[in-house]
Structure 1
């Protein structure tokens, strides 16, 4: 089964046209709900006086997401907002980086010099992700390989068969148990 895809979009909205933009954003959400695979969406403004707005939407998998993103309905909707909405950034999230997200999403850190609140990236650097994965994978692989070696005839199997069997067993174990536990234990270090 494919992973759901979440898209996060950051837009600049003309502050003079806030009422129109609010209706436009809601219309986009309503339109997306009619597409197969749609799992939900939402949007928020960065602040009452801010021109920065954020929108999230989620689809069942990449094919249903692309059906929405390449649709004439979405194209019409985007064109109808061109006069007051400008996309700044868009990001797709699925798979392994989700294991490293902060529990509440974005981490907020006070800026001492300005008194403002700044956001930091939710995913740690790739090298920290690699260390966390290795710390889970190495002991899982050692113990699992040892246990599989106790099965009569397993070590005589062709290398490809042994690796195929072990990865079929270890991957779900890693995804559902080991990596969530490792990232929970390492969270302070990962997000430092």
Structure 2
């Protein structure tokens, strides 16, 4: 597999068998602890099923890149935990999402995504300071005779790169308690 430096998120929806939710919670703690031991593991977010739901639990497992995710996916430790899963879940869906794709909702996505207004607010909190500070910094670094459109292009490029690989992954982690909350 070719190296891909982009973070990757494995989105999973498990429909828990009736009466197995507490056993599933114990299983989740165990597999999360096992994943934590692997290089590149960046965290797991779980969304509890709302009352009256068919007990579908959504989870997002983040790894630094495809290489570290593959090491986890191909590990014996993961396989041992997955072998216990059929007695707990009725169905399972999984999807890999790379880098910034996590912020774009596919039209027929079966997995839970944050509400758009929450994504918009977190994005605003992330981009506002960048827009305040990057253009003046770029104008100080570029020669005075550089055309305005070039300075704007460089500012936009710096903002997009920072948002994609630094700011939004951090903001997602910081605000995950609110972004993925049901209500």
Length-normalised TM-score, structure 1: 0.52
Residue 35 of structure 2 aligns with which residue? 32
Residue 107 of structure 1 aligns with which residue? 115
State the secondary structure of the residue aligned to 1:97. helix
Residue 10 of structure 1 aligns with which residue? 13
Residue 76 of structure 2 aligns with which residue? 72
Report the CA distance between 1:10 and its aligned residue: 0.3
Q: Which runs of 5+ in 2 are unaligned?
A: 106-112, 120-144, 147-153, 165-183
- The answer on whether the counterparts of 1:29 and 1:42 sit within 8 Å (CA) in structure 2 is no
Report the CA distance between 1:87 and its aligned residue: 4.2
- The answer on whether the counterparts of 2:9 and 2:102 sit within 8 Å (CA) in structure 1 is no
State the secondary structure of the residue aligned to 1:16. coil
Residue 175 of structure 1 aligns with which residue? 160
Report the CA distance between 1:15 and its aligned residue: 2.4
- The answer on whether the counterparts of 1:9 and 1:55 sit within 8 Å (CA) in structure 2 is yes
1:37-186 correspondence runs (5 A): 37-50=40-53, 51-98=55-102, 100=104, 105-107=113-115, 172-173=157-158, 175-176=160-161
Tell me the distance in 1 between the aligned counterparts of 2:90 and 2:38: 24
Report the CA distance between 1:174 and its aligned residue: 7.3
Larger Rg, first or second structure (1 or 2): 1
Report the CA distance between 1:171 and its aligned residue: 9.8
Structure showing greater relative contact order (alpha-carbon pairs closer than 8 Å, 6 or more residues apart): 2
CA shift digits 1:99-139 (9 cap, x unpaired):
546xxx52279xxxxxxxxxxxx9xxxxxxxxxxxxxxxxx
Structure 1 residues 16 and 56, CA, compared in 2 at 3 Å: closer, same or farther? Answer: same
Tell me the distance in 2 between the aligned counterparts of 1:59 and 1:16: 31
Q: Which runs of 5+ in 1 are unaligned?
A: 110-121, 123-149, 152-168, 180-192
Length-normalised TM-score, structure 2: 0.55
Mean Cα deviation higher: 89-98 or 20-29: 89-98
Give aligned pairs, total. Answer: 121
Structure 1 residues 16 and 98, CA, compared in 2 at 3 Å: closer, same or farther? Answer: closer
Report the CA distance between 1:84 and its aligned residue: 1.6
